[in-house]
Chain A
Amino acid sequence: MDMNQYLSMFIDESNDHLQSLNENMLQLEGNPEDLGIVQVIFRSAHTLKGMAATMGFEDLASLTHKMENVLDLVRNEKLKMQDYIFDTMFKSLDALETMVQDITEGGQGKADVSSIVASLQAIENGEMTSGAAPATENKPANASIASAVELDEFQYSVLDQSIAEGHRVFYVDVLVSEHSQLKGVRAYMVFDMLERSGEVVKAYPSVQDIEQEKFERSFSLYYITTKEAHELEEGIMSISEIESAKLIQLDQETLQQMANQVAATVEGPPAPTAVAEVASSDNNSAPKEEAKAAPAKTAAPKQAAAPSRTIRVDIERLDVLMNLFSELLIDRSRLEQLASETGNNDLSDTVAHLSRVSTDLQNIVLKLRMVPVDTVFNRFPRMIRDLAKTLDKKIDLVITGAETELDRTVIDEIGDPLVHLLRNAVDHGVESIAERVAAGKPEMGTVNLRAFHSGNHVFIEIEDDGKGIYRDKLLKTAIKRGVVTEEQGAKMSDDEVNQLLFAPGFSTADIISDISGRGVGLDVVKSKITSLGGNVTIHSTPGKGTNFSVQLPLTLSIIAAMLVRLGSEKYAVPLSSIVETAIVQREQVRNIHGNKMITFRESLIPYLSLSEVFSVPDFNDADEQETEIVVIRKGDRLAAVAVEEFIGQSEIVLKSMGTYLPAIEGISGATILGDGQVALILDPNAFIK
């Protein structure tokens, strides 16, 4: 069978399962007594094992199997979770991740895991008590039948899933009257009846055998439905020549046992004691209810975690959709322009409606590309745990706003910078336990990771309650490293000093550790975030902690911009960096040290002549008595850019200028206007240095 088409699905789902394993394992570590979590972990591991075995990744399957064995002991309260077990489990998860990674890259998922397997085995053996394996002891004598009713991994997971999704799963045992002449037909009628309101997952003997009367008097099957047991039973019994029908509702627990123990009750002996038997009346349904209630509790978190119905779409298709939509936007602007020129009311109305619809459409298209930041955040708890262990610190990572959404392109890029900032907070921010105690702080350091929306931006903050930044120490290092001179340093505000952390070739760690502190990190973080159109700032209170705030644009493909004209040329200025627009008189522009400045809100800001910078052929603001200016902002610094005329605000689609042209200072890209002309987009950051 060609497995390729399933491979990507396998990889996606494996990653999901690994992620949930990691998360739940962390949760369990905080709360080792909670067997509910163990159940969830066990199920994830089991599904993973099943998938891996189906796909033929034996190493993956066998390692998961070993983990499962240990978990099984824990689940049955034969083994208590302890630190070294957690460590081994986490190691196993890492190994699994490596294997899945290998498979993703086209490998066979092979890895040498003998040492991990050995330690898992040791855990398993070390705590193994006399009655450890009920599964093997209870195995019935008739092995051939036993193995036949045994569910394979796929069937098991189908049943398991159905239970999790709230369907009923029954194990049905049907006995045909011994006088029946047409056993096959009767059996067929049973199947027919059942399949009208559900699905038969597995039958013993096989369906073909049953239809050809290759069975004695009884057959059994696993059945998924939404109907009640008594309804089904009545239905089956209403078929003539059926002597008895036994329905056993399965929950995850009993299903597991069935799968392990193999319910070999085909020849007539009673069903396994563990399962509650449903008699012809509904009277003794109490035990069933009870049995259902217990696993329902454990299943709840899993169900709560995946309530949204989703489909997976190739990101490329979304990109194509986005491109098509941008074409549409350009046509829309053109139509709007034409409509206002012709002055036809009907046309204007229609175009206005089209505009509204396409605005809604735009919101949806943009939303399609939005991904919760959780997809990046979810690997952090594990990372912080490992880091804290290595550094011998106690750290609590508090994540808030993980549901905040960001454009997929931003999400893909933001992971590494955040890892760096977090490592930085754990390594340099939070003090060692001894230091914390000496400073009168709790042993456990806290790192807050927050994401939230604000206007057209998403903020991600990383805040620790560590030692904070000491201006003097930082300045001394900066001067030593030649980042600033002593004079410059003395003049800088505290915030400016803090920003020095982002200067290339800077590190304040006294000892260079391999976690962070090579001094190559923060400047890379800064440039990465800037290249995404974002910004990062630091606030710190010495002794209290440090806050890194990362500001990111919601999306990179469509932005709101102000269109301006200089002579015959049009330029777009991103709205996000505009503070305001104004008109200044020529005499208000003053020369200070050869630089033109204007007074804006009681402070002097630089005045830039765009026509001069871009050598615009048919306009020069120096010829004008009154000049329109756009005040732009970079961080907290402002500058005024002189233009000839404001055209208005517009949603523009970012277009690449191709690979031929080198990067041009002051220009960040191009867009296509309503009239089909190309307009260049200004990069305000380049004007403020």
Chain B
Amino acid sequence: MEEELKVIVFKLGSEEYGIEVDKVQTIERMMPITRVPKTLSFVKGVINLRGVVIPVIDLRGRFSLPESEYTDQTRIVIVGVDDMQVGFIVDSANDVIDIKSSAIDSPPEVVGGVKARYLRGVAKLEDSRLLIMLNLNEVLNKSEIVQLESVEG
């Protein structure tokens, strides 16, 4: 039985990434972010999303990619996993597509500098585009933050 997945597509640099649509709550334009001191560098701070305070992380920073200036295209993708809500700053987000679960291959060791652990797989699309599917649970893994902290601090 072929499973169809609806996926939100966003860009970091030239790579395209995908998150299942049911994990995404909204996509927002860039908005003022309140800096939170004494956290990791990729945690940009917190935003007020209609009365709810939500932490925002720069996905480039999370994947140890060089950070870039924010532009008109920059978006905050609000994802929700379990009870956790987090905003991802991405270069742009403007597509929703359907892919077949069979089109997703297990990820190679490193894709565009992103470690395999954060990836669920790579989906091949028709016009030879590659879509990198994120493993949200790993991206939002808190124990790793604590580890990173102890290394940095």
Is A252 an interface position by the 8 A CB rule?
no
Instruction: State how many residues of chain A have any CB contact under 8 Å with chain B.
Output: 29
Say whether B53 faces chain A, with CB atoms less than 8 Å apart.
yes
Asked if A390 lies at the interface with its beta carbon under 8 angstroms from chain B, I say no
Interface contact tally, CB-CB below 8 A: 77
Is the CB–CB distance between A660 and B55 below 8 Å? Answer: yes
B-contact bits for A651-673, CB 8 A (1 contact / 0 none) = 00001111111101111001010
Contacting pair B37 A678 (CB below 8 A):
no
Q: Which chain B residue shows the least CB distance to A617?
A: B35
B142 touches A678 (CB 8 A): no
Is B37 in contact with A614, judged by CB distance below 8 angstroms? yes
Q: List 30 A-B contacts (CB under 8 A).
A: A323-B51, A326-B51, A569-B34, A617-B35, A657-B46, A657-B53, A658-B85, A658-B86, A659-B83, A660-B55, A660-B84, A660-B85, A660-B140, A661-B43, A661-B55, A662-B39, A662-B142, A667-B36, A667-B37, A670-B53, A672-B51, A672-B53, A676-B32, A677-B32, A677-B34, A677-B48, A678-B48, A678-B53, A679-B34, A680-B37
Other-chain residue from B37, B38, B51, B55 in contact with A330 (beta carbon distance below 8 A): B51
Q: Could you say which residues of chain B place their CB within 8 Å of the CB of A616?
A: 37
B146: chain A residues at CB < 8 Å are 662
A residues bordering B, Cβ < 8 Å?
Answer: 323, 326-327, 330, 569, 613-617, 655-662, 664-667, 670, 672, 676-680
Interface string of B39-65 (1 = CB under 8 A from A): 100010111100111110000000000
Q: How large is the interface on B (under 10, 10 to 19, 20 to 34, 35 or more residues)?
A: 20 to 34
Of the listed residues B37, B38, B55, B146, the one surrounded by the most CB atoms of chain A closer than 10 A to its CB is B37
A189 and B35 CA atoms in complex are apart in Å by 80
Give B92 Cβ to nearest chain A Cβ, in Å: 23
Are B51 and A658 in touch, CB under 8 angstroms? Answer: no
By a CB distance below 8 angstroms, the chain A residues around B96 are: none
B37 contacts A664, CB within 8 Å?
yes
How far, in Å, is B150 (CB) from chain A's closest CB? 11
Nearest A residue to B33 by beta-carbon distance? Answer: A678
Contacts of A679 in B (CB 8 A): 34
B59 CB to closest chain A CB (Å) equals 14
If over half of A's interface residues share one DSSP class (helix, strand or loop), that class is named, otherwise mixed; here it is: loop
Q: Is the CB of B55 within 8 A of A657?
A: yes
Contacts A657-B46, A660-B140; is A569 near B35 (CB within 8 Å)?
yes
Closest Cβ of chain A to B96, distance in Å, is 25
Indicate if B130 sits at the interface (CB-CB under 8 A). Answer: no
Q: In the complex, what distance in Å separates the CA atom of A443 from the CA atom of B30?
A: 73
Give B57 Cβ to nearest chain A Cβ, in Å.
8
* Contact status of A662 and B149, CB under 8 A, knowing A327-B51, A330-B51: yes
Most buried by A among B34, B39, B83: B34
Chain A residues whose CB sits within 8 angstroms of the CB of B35 once the complex forms: 569, 617
Cβ contacts under 8 Å, A678 to chain B: 34, 45-48, 53
Point out the residue from A665, A666, A676 that lies within 8 Å of B48, measured CB to CB: A676
